Chains A and B, each alone.
Chain A
């Protein structure tokens, strides 16, 4: 007889196509008491997306930052939607509590009801495998108070909040320093991606799931001068641990292929009656 209890959805987030994202936002009027304004009051100004895909055994990365210019809100949400395809795992930090509801409300307010990707990820099941909110993962889904990204990254050996802070975004936006906001947003995305890799490796009990992509991410940063502000992530304690580990895994994988090749050659020699080699 089938159980009538609903099955808990899987939290095994697929890791081969991951989009890690973060938004920076402003409010029209800052509260006098310095408190964090309620989320519906926030208007996004920059959204950054790091797409990491595993293709034919190699990791590929792309960082895209989208600026929401005044009057360009509708296009902004369409561009955000394009970064969140339904086949990807979306990853963020406190994204269910802030980023996704802010983006969802903003898109609805712009009457953009055609954004299937953004809608798919914003409505993802809390315990499902479509969206991974790392604040939930690290706090065991409400088992303890939600930590901040800085607290998690400090413990993991990942640099975070290296240039500016979230409280500076409003001032930077009003003074027109969009580049500084974008750099800050991309740094947060890179830190979140490192925290995701650590979580993913832990979730599956496989250090290769952090070492290989983190080493590839470090090389990608080194190869792209436009991402020089992300260099601390290539030399962080976590990356310094991951890079030799990834090298060892690469050599071990090549050895396995060489063993298959040697066995095949031995079989062929035995079949043809040739003596053994070297």
Chain B
């Protein structure tokens, strides 16, 4: 018997908004999409998975995404991501402090409880903030990952391509989870097999 545990792989797409030339507003980011891949291991060692993803367009407001994420994110678990502090958590913190105050507080309360357990940033072993793009690192293990293209994210957000946005973050979450399994030095054979069996039943061929 092992203790049940949840692993929450997060992927986020955001649009950077630079400081203006007069310096009267600071550089901020605007959330565009979030994907949450939850891998649950029960007491018997069996695995189950769920993948949820959502995107918003310019004008939709970040609160829509935060409220959605608040309902999707489990209360406890180990957070996994690629460049967690800078690419994933930073835009979430920005969003949690700029929209509806009560929603922001509730979302940050959930995020605080999640990152209180040691989180896993897969990029650290590859150079951290200066790591090569996820696409290249994942490819070394034969894993497909979407290319990081801030301009394409900004365009999709600006022109309302919500489906494109949510597919990109979903693909990233799956790629990051697969990368973690692949870099486990053979320790994740059961989880890998369970995940691939589950993923083969997903509708989207890219996943």
Contacts and interface: CB of A to CB of B under 8 A. Distances in A.
A258 interface: yes
B132 interface: no
A142 interface: no
Contacts of A53: none
B125 A235 contact: yes
B128 interface: yes
A223 B130 CA distance: 6
B interface: dominant SS = helix
A11 interface: no
Contacts of B112: 248, 251-252, 255
Contact of B108 (A240, A254, A276): A254
B89 to A, nearest CB: 6
Interface residues on B, range: 20 to 34
B108 A248 contact: no
A222 B128 contact: yes
B127 interface: yes
A266 B119 CA distance: 33
A278 B129 contact: no
B128 A218 contact: yes
Contacts of B101: 258, 261-262, 264-266, 277
Query: Which of A248, A252, A261 lies at the interface centre, i.e. has the most chain B CB atoms within 10 A of its CB?
Result: A248
Interface in B102-146: 102-106, 108-109, 111-112, 115-116, 118-121, 124-125, 127-131
Given A234-B128, A243-B85, A243-B124, A277 B102 contact: yes
A interface: dominant SS = helix
Contact of A277 (B96, B103, B111, B120): B103
A254 B111 CA distance: 10
A244 B116 CA distance: 8
B84 interface: yes
A112 to B, nearest CB: 40
Contacts of A277: 100-103
Contact of B116 (A215, A222, A240, A248): A248
Contacts of B108: 251, 254-255, 258
A210 to B, nearest CB: 15
B93 interface: yes
A65 to B, nearest CB: 22
Interface in A93-112: none
Contact of A240 (B63, B100, B124, B129): B124
Interface residues of A, number: 32
Nearest to B96: A258
B97 interface: yes
B188 interface: no
B67 A278 contact: yes
B93 A251 contact: yes
A54 interface: no
Given A264-B101, A277-B103, A254 B96 contact: yes
Given A250-B89, A276-B102, 16 more contacts: A215-B85, A218-B124, A218-B128, A222-B129, A222-B130, A223-B129, A243-B121, A244-B118, A248-B112, A248-B115, A248-B119, A251-B112, A255-B111, A261-B105, A265-B101, A278-B100
Interface of A: 215, 218-219, 222-223, 225, 231, 234-235, 240, 243-248, 250-252, 254-255, 257-259, 261-262, 264-266, 276-278
Interface of B: 63, 67, 84-85, 89, 93, 96-97, 100-106, 108-109, 111-112, 115-116, 118-121, 124-125, 127-131
